[in-house]
Structure 1
Amino acid sequence: MQLLDKVAVVTGAAQGLGRSIALALAQEGADVVLCDLQEDKLAEVSAEIEALGRKSLALRCDVSSKEQVVETFARAAEQFGTVHILVNNAARVPNSPDDEARRNKHYAYVTTPMERQSLGITSSLTDDDWLKWWDVNVHGVFYCTREALKFMEPQGYGRIINIASVAGTSAASTHSPGYSASKAAVVSLTKTVALDVAGAGIYVNAIACGGVLTPPFQAYIDNATEEQRRSLYQIMPVGRLGKPEEYASLAVYLAGDNHYLVGQIISPNGGAVI
């Protein structure tokens, strides 16, 4: 129970990776504040945490709204007194029909012999294709980090874990330039905030995920043709996507005290980006 009596805030906690991280933190003793827009699923995760013998607070919160973020942390403080751990997991992901078409074009291009050419992805993007990623993926991370630091800096202790992506460290998500740029911003923010607050006993790191079998990715696989699925798995040297639980165990480690990691971008990705 390495996180016994710690208080964690997990955004995007209703399903997928956020749910797995929230449960893993609770299993190690943390009380967890759950933040998401999906209230029904959030209630289910809250019940799972309480079944583990830990306390939970489920709050509907749009992290792109600084007012809602401020209210969320105020409620967390009211319930638990402080915040020790923040996991910035909430994010928009490329899962619209247009996103999936661009993804299929990209995967086919890198796994199938064909004439070299422009994929025409960037030049065909609309303003919305570019702008829609920033409110949640970047502004939300900043708003939550700023509020968490208001507790962490005075108490001289904190752990912030940003969920980034291989999209922000490589060309792995060429199919979505806007998403990639937003995750690169998370990588940069992780490093700068880490240097800013390390002297106050606050460790900030990021997990640059690659190929997590979350509900949106599962939906893509379910709708893909056999050829498209083969193209996806061809990119993954281990031949499969990562399980959310495999990422959650790393989040637990970073949330604990038995490491010397500050400002690091750790990338579990099955060898897709080495």
Structure 2
Amino acid sequence: MLLEGKVAIVSGLGPGMGRDISLALAREGADIVMAARREDRMAAVAEEVEGLGRRAVCVRTDISSRVDCDRLAETVRRELGTAHILVNNAFHDGNYKSFEDSDLDEWKATFDVNLWGTLQLTKAVLPLLKEHEESHIVMINTMSVHLVEPNFGAYAASKGALATATRTLARELGRDGVRVNGIHPGYIWGSSVEWYLNHLAEQNGTSFEEEYAKVADQTCLGYIVPSSEIAGAVLFFSSSLSRAVTGQSLPVNGGHYLQ
């Protein structure tokens, strides 16, 4: 297995991406530390991880809280000894308003999670990661950094800053054996996107199938990628398969745009 004997920390646990990333890493041998605000969601995923024969540790964590991030690192040290992988998946999706209609405190709240919270958690965990010859940080970013749409400014700007921070950390931490890379999904198939497409269909007087096709037809592969497939790219960046890769941004969106 690719991750036998490794410990992975995954922030942001929901029924989609956080769950699928945790299970993908656990299937390859990693013990999983889950850092999220919803204890019920963590408990459900922990049961699945343990069903794969791996250890699961749940730590209620708001990444915008320094106290919470430090407590998480202390818990990992106490219960698992160290960590080899950090997947920064927790995020704030912004205010869905134009810049002109936004209170800038709303933008700040988005940055507090997507940039500062992510960096705060990373800094708390970094001493654990630096104990090893090879360790990995994976930033879950977004296609919105490259394809900016109206009313997504707070989200896109915060993630754009995170993309720059990803390259900075890669440059500074490489000699310590820490690889830092970003995953940039597009639309992620799941309950929230299904709801959104149904909402558009009702709003536009169309069908769900028509709205799905509008999005899917923009991709090279012709479908909206599910989080379980994005998790495969996270596994790559979390393993020795990506030993020679750092500071990179990988679009994982079915070819919604091409670099």
Residue in structure 1 matched with residue 59 of structure 2 by the alignment? 59
Residue in structure 2 matched with residue 6 of structure 1 by the alignment? 6
In the aligned structure 2, how far is the partner of 1:53 from the partner of 1:228? 41
Structure 2 regions of 5+ residues with no counterpart? Answer: 202-206
In the aligned structure 2, how far is the partner of 1:14 from the partner of 1:150? 27
CA RMSD, aligned part only?
1.8
Residue in structure 2 matched with residue 267 of structure 1 by the alignment? 251
In the aligned structure 2, how far is the partner of 1:192 from the partner of 1:62? 24
Residue in structure 1 matched with residue 172 of structure 2 by the alignment? 196
Q: What letter matches 2:12 in structure 1?
A: G
In the aligned structure 2, how far is the partner of 1:191 from the partner of 1:237? 27
How far apart are 1:195 and its partner, in Å?
Answer: 0.7
1:181 aligns with 2:157: yes
Conserved? CA contact 1:17–1:214, under 8 Å: no
Q: After the TM superposition, which segments of 4 or more aligned residues of structure 1 sit over 6 Å from their partners?
A: none
How far apart are 1:187 and its partner, in Å?
Answer: 0.6
Residue in structure 1 matched with residue 241 of structure 2 by the alignment? 258
Alpha-carbon spacing, 1:172–1:241, altered in 2? closer, same or farther (3 Å): farther
Q: What letter matches 1:209 in structure 2?
A: P
TM-score, structure 2 as length reference: 0.90
Residue in structure 1 matched with residue 227 of structure 2 by the alignment? 244
In the aligned structure 1, how far is the partner of 2:15 from the partner of 2:69? 19
Partner SS for 1:122: coil
In the aligned structure 2, how far is the partner of 1:12 from the partner of 1:215? 16
Conserved? CA contact 1:212–1:244, under 8 Å: yes
Alpha-carbon spacing, 1:264–1:66, altered in 2? closer, same or farther (3 Å): same
1:140 aligns with 2:133: no
How far apart are 1:228 and its partner, in Å?
Answer: 4.7
What does the per-residue CA deviation read over 1:153-208, in whole Å, with 9 as the maximum and x for residues that have no partner?
Answer: 2334310000011112x134333011000110111111000011111111111101
Paired residues for 1:29-40 under 5 Å: 29-40=29-40
Q: What letter matches 2:200 in structure 1?
A: A
Residue in structure 2 matched with residue 206 of structure 1 by the alignment? 182
How far apart are 1:230 and its partner, in Å?
Answer: 4.7
Residue in structure 1 matched with residue 27 of structure 2 by the alignment? 27
What does the per-residue CA deviation read over 1:121-165, in whole Å, with 9 as the maximum and x for residues that have no partner?
Answer: 332333244223111111111011111211122334310000011
1:166 aligns with 2:150: no
In the aligned structure 2, how far is the partner of 1:56 from the partner of 1:198? 29
What does the per-residue CA deviation read over 1:85-119, in whole Å, with 9 as the maximum and x for residues that have no partner?
Answer: 0000000125x6xx3xx6xxxxxxxxxxxxxxxxx
In the aligned structure 2, how far is the partner of 1:165 from the partner of 1:173? 12
2:196 to 207, 213, 220: 220
Partner SS for 1:161: strand
Partner SS for 2:165: helix
Partner SS for 2:247: coil
Conserved? CA contact 1:9–1:34, under 8 Å: yes
Structure 1 regions of 5+ residues with no counterpart? Answer: 103-120
Conserved? CA contact 2:138–2:180, under 8 Å: yes
Conserved? CA contact 2:215–2:224, under 8 Å: no
Partner SS for 1:124: coil
Deviates more, 1:211-220 or 1:248-257: 211-220
Q: Percent identity?
A: 30
TM-score, structure 1 as length reference: 0.85
Conserved? CA contact 1:63–1:136, under 8 Å: yes
In the aligned structure 1, how far is the partner of 2:249 from the partner of 2:58? 29
Residue in structure 1 matched with residue 204 of structure 2 by the alignment? none
Alpha-carbon spacing, 1:270–1:34, altered in 2? closer, same or farther (3 Å): same
In the aligned structure 2, how far is the partner of 1:130 from the partner of 1:5? 40
Q: What letter matches 1:56 in structure 2?
A: A
1:91 aligns with 2:91: yes
Conserved? CA contact 1:197–1:203, under 8 Å: yes
Conserved? CA contact 2:84–2:132, under 8 Å: no
* Count of aligned positions: 250
In the aligned structure 1, how far is the partner of 2:116 from the partner of 2:211? 33
